Amino acid sequence: MNKLTAVPTRQAVRTTTPGIQVVSMHALIRRSSPLLVLLALGVCIGAFNHDFFDPMNLSRIAISAAIPLTIALGGTFVIQLGSIDLSAEGIVAVAAITVSMLVENSYNDNHFGLWVLAVAIAAGAVLGLTNGVLHVFLRIPSFITTLAVGFVASGIGTAWLSGNTIRVSDTALRSIAITRYLGLPLSVWIAVLVLGVAWFIHRHTLLGRHTLAIGGGEDLARLSGVRVSRVRIAVFALAGAFYGVAGILAVAQYGQGHALIANGQLFVAITAIVVGGTSLAGGNGSPMNTLIGTLIVVVLANGMVLLGVPPYVQQGIQGVLIIVAVTLALNRSRRRIVK
Amino acid sequence: MLTLKNVTKRFPGVLALDDVTIEIRPNEIVGLIGENGAGKSTLMKLLTGAYRQDTGEIMLNGQPMVIRNPRDATSKGIAMVYQEQSILPNLTVAENLFLGREEDFVTFGRLNWTKLKHAAKKELATVRLDVDPLTLCEDLSFGQRQMVELARALSLASRTGGTPIILLDEPTSVLEAAEIEILFRLVGELKSRASFVFVSHRLDELLSLSDRVYVMKDGKVVAEMPAAKASVAKLHELMVGRSMHGEYYRENLQKPCRKEVALSVNHASLGHALNDVSFEVYNGEVFGVAGVVGSGREELCRVIAGLEKLDAGEVTVGTARLKPQANHAVALGIGYVPRERKVEGLVTQMSVAQNLTLPRLGAVSRAGVVRKASERLIATEWIDRLHIKTPGPDASCRNLSGGNQQKVVLAKWRFAGSRILVLDHPTRGLDVGAKEEVYQLIRELSAEGVAVVLTGDTLEEILGLSHRVMVMRDGRAQAILPCAVGHKPSQVEIVEHMV
C-alpha cells in the first residue's frame, strides 16, 4: 500500500536453529549494570585515593558489609515475592538483646555458651513468622504488617532493658569479631556462609523457585499448584532468621546489646537490595545481586570517608544513589501508572 | 470422550450458555466459532474449572464429573493454552514447564537442575521447540512462548494417561504468519496423541485445521458440522443471522448529517494494532467501527482519545493536530467514554458532582478554589437533563447502577463541551433498559451535532446506531460502508470483511 505498512519487528520462531538464545545486548547490560557500577565506583575512588586498595581498607569494607549484607539477604527473598519487610531493625535488636542476655554479660549471671546463637536465630525466625502469619491470614499488606511488627519488636527490646545497654564480656562471642582467618574476622566469614545459604535456597530449593514464581505472577503460580500462603509465611520466617544472625554479628561487633543497635540498617539494606538490581515489584534478583548492592553502598560510604565528604552530605548521596539505581535498573516503559 | 450435556450458565442479566451440548472425540480437532459474546469464552472457562455450570453435566468417558479449578482440570486431562499468555517471563523455560510439580526433581530439598533440564528438553521436543531450557522466557519471542505453553499444557494433561484435551483460545491472535503456520503443523501432528478445541475468529484458519466445527450464537450452539462440509460464507451466515430491531436503536432519530469534517485520521499506524488507517468523521455523525477483538478498533479509540502515540500518521481536529496526550484531546473537544467504566471513566469514590465537573473544573472554580455551590448547581442541571437516577449530586458514583454511571460519564463530556465523543463499548455490562437510554442519548448527541466514534460488543448495535461503519481486520480498515436508515448493510456483509 505504502511505506508505512511495515510489519513490526518481532522474531519468528526458529524451528531448526540450535538452542542458544541470543540475549539482546541491551538486556545484558541492564542485567549486569550493578556489577559495572560497583567496578566503576571502585576504580573512581581508587584513582582519587590510593588508600582505597590498601588491604586494611578492603578488610574494613568487608567488616562493615557483614551486617548489612546479612540483613539484606533476608530482605531479598521478601522483595522477590513483591512484598517488603520493614521489621529488620526491630528484629535484629530483639535477637541481639536475646544473645546479650544469655552469654556472659553485665546485666545478669547467665553464661550459657555459644549454643544461645541458635536461640537468637530462632527468636528472629519467630518474629519473622509472625510477620508472615499476620500478613497472610489477616491479609494485611506486608508494608504495614512488618512496619508494625518492627515497632513491636523495638518496643520489646526497649522495655526489656528499660532503655539500658547490656555490655557483653563473653570472650567466645566477642571472638567472632576479633579472631581472624586469612586476614578477615569470623564475622565476615559468617556473612559469606550466610550468602552461600541464601544462594543455595534461591537456586536449589523449591522455596527459592516458588518465591520467584509468586513474585512474577501470583495468580498464575497459585493456579499451577504453588502453595502461595505457605511460601509467603516461610519466606518471612526465613528473613527473620537472617535478621537473627545479623543480631549476633552486631553484638559481637559492638560488644553490647540494646534496642537501637540496628538503627539505620534498614535503609542500608533496602538500598543495597534495590541497587543490586532486585526489583521492588518482585520476581527477579538473587543473593548475588544483593551482595553487589551491599558492596556498592558500603564502598560508596567508605570512599566518601576517604575523600573527606562531610557526613551529612554522605547521607544525601546515598539517597540519590537509590533514585539513580532504580532509574537504571527498572524497565519503566511498560508501566503506565506508578504508585 | 468429553461431553457437555445441556449445559446452562447464567450471569446477572445475561444467559451466557443456553442448553449447550458439545462432544469432543478422541484425537479430534474441534473448531468453535461465534461472535464476541456468543459464549465461547464461558464454555472454555467451564472446561477449565474457572466457572461452574448452573445446570447440565460435563461427562468424561460417560462419567459425570465436577471440575473444581484449573489444576483439577489438568488432573482430568484438560489443559488450556491461554490467549493472554500465561507463563512467567522471569522464570526459565524449564521452570515454567514444571511449575507447581517440581517434586520429581527434588532430592533432599535440593532441586536437581540437570534432571529438570533433561525433562524439559524432552517436553520441548514434542513441540519442536529447540531452545535451551534454561533460557528466561522473557528472552523468547511470542511464538516461542506459545510453544512453551503448548508443551506445558500437553505434559500436564498427559499425566492422566488418557487422551489429553487441549483448549486453544485464539492462539493465533498474537502470532506472525510464519509462526501460525508452525503452530498449525504442530497441532496437526499432535492430533495423534491429543484432542484439541480450537477457538478462533479467523474462519479460514479454523476450517483448514478442524475436523468438526460448532457454531455458537447468543449462548446457543446453532450448528455442528464436519469442517469439510462447511464453507466460510455459510459459517458467516450462521454466526449472525439475527433480526434487526430498528426501533430499539431509535433509527427514526437517525438524521442524515452534513459533510462538515469534525475529525480526521490520516494514515494512522501503531505497532501491530493499526496499519495505515484513514477516515473522516462528520459533525453529527455516528461513525461505527466494527471488527473482532484484536482487529485494532480498541487501539483506534485510544489513539483518538490521545492515549497512544502513533508510529506514523496523524489525527486532526479542524486544523489542529492531536498530540498523544489525553489533556490535549480534551482541549480539542474530544471526550473518551472508555470500556472500563469504573477504572477509566469515573472516579468511583467521588461524588456525581465531582465526577461531572472533573474535565472542566475551571468553570466552577475561582483562583484554584472550587465553588461547591456552582458545582452542585451544574450537577443538578445535568442530572435532570439526562435523567440520572441518583439520590443527589453528592452521592458517590460507586452506588449508582451501571447505566447511570455511564450517563454520568456522558454528562461529564457534554458539560466539558466535547464536540467529538469516542464511545468504546458504551453499553457493556448494561441491562436492556439502560442500553436503550444510552442509545437515546447517543441520538440526542448526534442531533446536537456532536461527532461520535462508536465501537461495541455486537455488530447489531454498531449497525443500528451508525451513519457509516468502518470494518477493521488485523489493524487495517477493510471497508467503510454507509448505513442510512432502511439501507443498512446486513451483518453478513460486515462479517465478510471482518474475518
Using one digit for the tens of pLDDT, what is the confidence trace for B241-291?
544 455 667 777 777 777 888 999 999 998 888 889 999 999 989 999 988
In chain B, residues with a C-beta closer than 8 Å to the C-beta of A2 are: 267, 276
**B114 at interface of A, judged by CB pairs closer than 8 A:** no
- Burial environment of residue B104 by CB neighbours within 10 A (0 to 12, 13 to 18, 19 or more): exposed
* pLDDT of the residue at A2: 37
* pLDDT of the residue at B399: 77
In chain A, residues with a C-beta closer than 8 Å to the C-beta of B268 are: none
**Global pTM?**
0.75
Range of the domain at A240: 67-263+280-285
Query: What's the rounded mean pLDDT across residues B384-410?
Result: 84
Query: What's the rounded mean pLDDT across residues B59-83?
Result: 84
* Contact call for B182 and A15, based on CB within 8 A: yes
* pLDDT of the residue at B459: 81
* pLDDT of the residue at B237: 76
- Indicate the pLDDT class of residue A119, thresholds 50, 70 and 90: very high
**B242 at interface of A, judged by CB pairs closer than 8 A:** no
For residue B338, what is the DSSP state?
-
- Indicate the pLDDT class of residue A332, thresholds 50, 70 and 90: very low
CB B68 within 8 A of CB B104: no
**B104 at interface of A, judged by CB pairs closer than 8 A:** no
**B161 at interface of A, judged by CB pairs closer than 8 A:** no
What tens digit of pLDDT does each residue of A51-67 get? Answer: 888 899 999 999 999 99
Residue A129 in domain: yes
State the ipTM, two decimals.
Answer: 0.75
Percent of chain B with pLDDT over 70: 96
Query: What's the rounded mean pLDDT across residues B195-207?
Result: 82
Question: At residue B39, does pLDDT exceed 90?
Answer: no
- Å from A273 to nearest chain B CA? 18
* Contact call for A21 and B140, based on CB within 8 A: yes
In chain A, residues with a C-beta closer than 8 Å to the C-beta of B100 are: 221, 224-226
A225: nearest CB among B71, B88, B132:
B71
Query: What's the rounded mean pLDDT across residues A62-82?
Result: 95
What tens digit of pLDDT does each residue of B134-186 get? Answer: 988 888 887 888 888 888 888 887 777 778 898 888 777 667 777 788 888 88
Give the side-chain half-sphere CA count within 13 A for B229: 7
Element (H, E) at A63: helix A55-80
Chain mean pLDDT for chain A: 85
* pLDDT of the residue at B183: 85
Q: Which of these ranges, A92-106, A193-207, B159-173, B216-230, has the smallest mean pLDDT?
A: B159-173
**B140 at interface of A, judged by CB pairs closer than 8 A:** yes
User: At B417, is the secondary structure helix, strand, or coil?
Assistant: coil
Q: Which of B100, B244, B205, B202 is nearest to B159 (CA)?
A: B100
Residue A321 in domain: no
Q: Which of B83, B157, B93, B71 is nearest to A228 (CA)?
A: B71
Query: What's the rounded mean pLDDT across residues A126-154?
Result: 94
User: φ and ψ at B334, to 5 degrees?
Assistant: -100, 130
What tens digit of pLDDT does each residue of A198-224 get? Answer: 999 998 898 999 999 999 888 888 877
The number of residues making up chain A comes to 339
- Å from A274 to nearest chain B CA? 17
Domains and CATH numbers, chain B: 2-239 (3.40.50.300), 251-498 (3.40.50.300)
DSSP codes, B423-481 = EESTTTT--HHHHHHHHHHHHHHHHTT-EEEEE-S-HHHHHHH-SEEEEEETTEEEEEE
A19: nearest CB among B101, B111, B131:
B131
- Indicate the pLDDT class of residue A333, thresholds 50, 70 and 90: very low
Q: What residues have CB less than 8 Å from A315, skipping those under 6 apart?
A: none
**Cell 535478621 sits on residue:** A243
* pLDDT of the residue at A43: 92
A23: nearest CB among B130, B139, B269:
B139
- Indicate the pLDDT class of residue B451, thresholds 50, 70 and 90: very high
Question: At residue A10, does pLDDT exceed 70?
Answer: no
* pLDDT of the residue at B13: 64
What tens digit of pLDDT does each residue of A300-331 get? Answer: 989 999 888 888 888 888 888 778 877 766 65
> How far is it, in rounded angstroms, from Cα B154 to Cα B168?
11
Count of helices and strands (H, E) across chain B = 16, 24
Residue A27 in domain: no
Q: Which of these ranges, A124-138, B110-124, B367-381, has the smallest mean pLDDT?
A: B367-381
> How far is it, in rounded angstroms, from Cα B448 to Cα B420?
11
Strands in B320-321's sheet, in edge-to-edge order, are B274-282, B261-270, B312-317, B320-321
Query: What's the rounded mean pLDDT across residues B220-231?
Result: 85
Query: What's the rounded mean pLDDT across residues A277-282?
Result: 86
A vs B: CB pairs below 8 A: 108
Angle at B215 between CA B213 and CA B220, to 5 degrees: 135
- Burial environment of residue A126 by CB neighbours within 10 A (0 to 12, 13 to 18, 19 or more): middle
- Å from B293 to nearest chain A CA? 19
Residue A291 in domain: no
CB B403 within 8 A of CB B441: no
Show the beta-strand stretches assigned E in B38-164: 55-60, 63-65, 78-81, 106-107, 110-111
Query: What's the rounded mean pLDDT across residues B357-365?
Result: 81
CB A327 within 8 A of CB A275: no
- Indicate the pLDDT class of residue A104, thresholds 50, 70 and 90: confident
Radius of gyration, CA atoms only, chain A: 22
CB A35 within 8 A of CB A325: no
Other Cβ atoms less than 10 A from the Cβ of A318: the count is 17
Chain A residues contacting B via beta carbons under 8 Å? 1-2, 4-5, 7-8, 10-21, 23-24, 27, 200, 203-206, 209, 212-213, 215-217, 220-221, 223-226, 283-284
How many structural domains does chain A have? 1
- Indicate the pLDDT class of residue B430, thresholds 50, 70 and 90: confident
* Contact call for B141 and A11, based on CB within 8 A: yes
Residue A253 in domain: yes
Other Cβ atoms less than 10 A from the Cβ of B341: the count is 22
Residue A45 in domain: no
Q: Which of B360, B374, B78, B38 is nearest to B215 (CA)?
A: B38
- Indicate the pLDDT class of residue A153, thresholds 50, 70 and 90: very high
Residue A4 in domain: no
Name B266's bridge partners. Answer: B314
Give the side-chain half-sphere CA count within 13 A for B45: 12
Q: Which of these ranges, A28-32, B42-46, B182-186, has the smallest mean pLDDT?
A: A28-32
